Chains A and B, each alone.
Chain A
Amino acid sequence: MGYDAMASAPASIPRDLAKKKRVNRTAKLKQCKLDARREQWLSQVNKDSKGSGSLTTTSPPPNPLLPQVKKTKLKKREERDRSSESVFLHEMSDSDTPSQCPSPHTSSNGRPISSSSSIGCSSRSISDPDEEETNHREEEEEEEEEENDVLDDWEAVADALTSSPNDQDIKFSSPIKTLTEPPVCHVTEQVDSVGSNMTQPVRAAPRAWRPDDAFRPQSLPSISKQLSFPSMNCHYGVGDQKGILSLPSSCPICYEDLDPTDSSFLPCLCGFRLCLFCHKRILEADARCPGCRKKYENVPGGTPVEANESVNPLPIWAARLSRSCSVNSRY
């Protein structure tokens, strides 16, 4: 296949030139391919989180794949909720009792925002359900205008509208359930914001931590990862970036920020710092310091260890030998 390349190249100097040229071409070709791939990917990512354009091009949101994986599931759920809502509204419109409208967050906190959402909610229950539905659709279309699979999902909505008597339960159980569990509260937010956004573009109230909140646990999923409103995405994306930039000292293993306990935690003499979580995971595994590869010793107090007998258990020749056994070690 490539032997002709060898054969046809005449002398050494011209051959080198030709080689260089060809090399350049490969590099360019491959680069083009990779760039195209990357751009395609980035555009997908951007689709998920609109806004903060310059930010996303240089550093896309922290979780580019998760939204896509979750997207369909979330959307389905949203729609199921919404459809069940409309079923509910059909029933409610007979009695016209706004007090029974399903807004668990109004009771859970007494902030002014919650009142606005409750107004939206009550007005919703009074208004004509069909009109409501179309409103929802418009919103949905604005919200996901770039999605190609919207039509499919509308079919799903139609299906759900005609036949889903059980979904009512889901509607009522899900917000309450998610309120008790802060890490998954984004589901509630999405449901709520779909409703409350109509009357007033106020972001939904029931959130345990604001994204820029200093007390927000790092382990909580970044809300910008979740598929939600573009404006929210923008906001949270910026907040996330700030959070990362303002705390440059992060665990080199999991790349999460070090909290004060972690930063005062010095498990190894070599000075390699890491967060307590990673340290525990490593202790459960091979218990060697990632920095110097020495064995960690009784470290729970975080006191520096004397580790001299296990400085380098293998002499150099042994380390070299160990390379040769790699054929059947792990592959």
Chain B
Amino acid sequence: MQASRARLFKEYKEVQREKSADPDIQLVCDDSNIFKWTALIKGPSETPYEGGVFQLAFAIPEQYPLLPPQVRFLTKIFHPNVHFKTGEICLDILKNAWSPAWTLQSVCRAIIALMAHPEPDSPLNCDSGNLLRSGDVRGFQSMARMYTRLAAMPKKT
């Protein structure tokens, strides 16, 4: 408990210091609870998610960093490895491949990498996975782009 708190404070300081180091990631800690973080990540370029800004919610267990943070998309995203309804992310480093050496920042980077390189063979979003597995890349991309537009970009006023 105390160790996780100390570590999160250190990570917070790190994030503050290198705020501009990674322009695609904005990590913000909850005002009142250091075990709740929010991240804004930009969709990687040359993907259907380009131009979208996706919000992630981090719930950090007290055993952190021995246990991975629980991360999910708050923004709807059409991606084979992200549950469409809950936003749950299927990423090995958030499950059994977690290492205490990872940080929240590096988790964000890994999620951006996952957005750019979907793994259709372990889908949480079967529709999306099936599109990719059947080779309909164009169909997948247009669906993903549509949802990026709908959910991850500002609404037309």
Contacts and interface: CB of A to CB of B under 8 A. Distances in A.
A31 B20 CA distance: 13
Contacts of A22: 153-154, 156
A209 interface: no
Contacts of B21: none
B16 A323 contact: no
B100 A26 contact: no
Given A2-B155, A331-B86, 15 more contacts: A5-B149, A19-B149, A19-B153, A23-B52, A25-B154, A30-B53, A41-B29, A41-B31, A64-B9, A65-B32, A255-B11, A256-B6, A322-B92, A324-B123, A326-B122
A327 interface: yes
Contact of B100 (A8, A62, A290, A331): A290
A120 to B, nearest CB: 35
Given A278-B100, A326-B90, A26 B153 contact: yes
Interface string B60-101: 000101100010000000000101001010111011110111
A253 B7 contact: yes
A285 B86 CA distance: 29
Contacts of A29: 154
A155 B32 CA distance: 26
A324 B122 contact: yes
A236 to B, nearest CB: 15
Interface in B118-152: 119, 121-124, 146, 149-151
Enumerate the 10 nearest inter-chain pairs by beta-carbon distance, A residue then B residue, closest first. A324-B122, A255-B10, A323-B122, A26-B154, A290-B101, A5-B156, A23-B51, A2-B150, A290-B99, A290-B100
A29 B11 CA distance: 25
Given A25-B154, A323-B91, A34 B124 contact: no
B112 interface: no
Interface string A130-148: 0000000000000000000
B92 A319 contact: yes
15 contacts: A25-B154, A27-B42, A34-B26, A58-B16, A64-B9, A64-B12, A65-B9, A65-B34, A253-B7, A253-B65, A290-B99, A293-B97, A323-B81, A323-B90, A324-B121
Interface in A270-321: 272, 277-278, 281-282, 285-286, 288, 290-291, 293, 319-321
Interface in B5-27: 6-7, 9-13, 16-17, 26
Contact of A2 (B3, B12, B149): B149
Size band of the B side of the interface? 35 or more
B11 A253 contact: no
Interface in A145-194: none
Contacts of A4: 156
Interface of A: 1-6, 8, 19-20, 22-23, 25-27, 29-31, 34, 37-38, 40-41, 58-60, 62-65, 252-256, 272, 277-278, 281-282, 285-286, 288, 290-291, 293, 319-324, 326-327, 329-331
Contacts of B91: 323, 326
Contacts of B150: 1-3, 5-6
Interface of B: 3, 6-7, 9-13, 16-17, 26, 28-29, 31-32, 34, 40, 42, 51-53, 63, 65-66, 70, 81, 83, 86, 88, 90-92, 94-97, 99-101, 119, 121-124, 146, 149-151, 153-156
Given A2-B155, A2-B156, A59-B17, A37 B51 contact: no
Contacts of A329: 95
Contact of B99 (A34, A63, A254, A291): A291
B155 A255 contact: no
B155 A62 contact: no
A62 B101 CA distance: 20
A252 B156 contact: no
Contact of A253 (B63, B70, B95, B100): B100
A63 B101 contact: no
Nearest to A4: B156
A326 B95 contact: yes
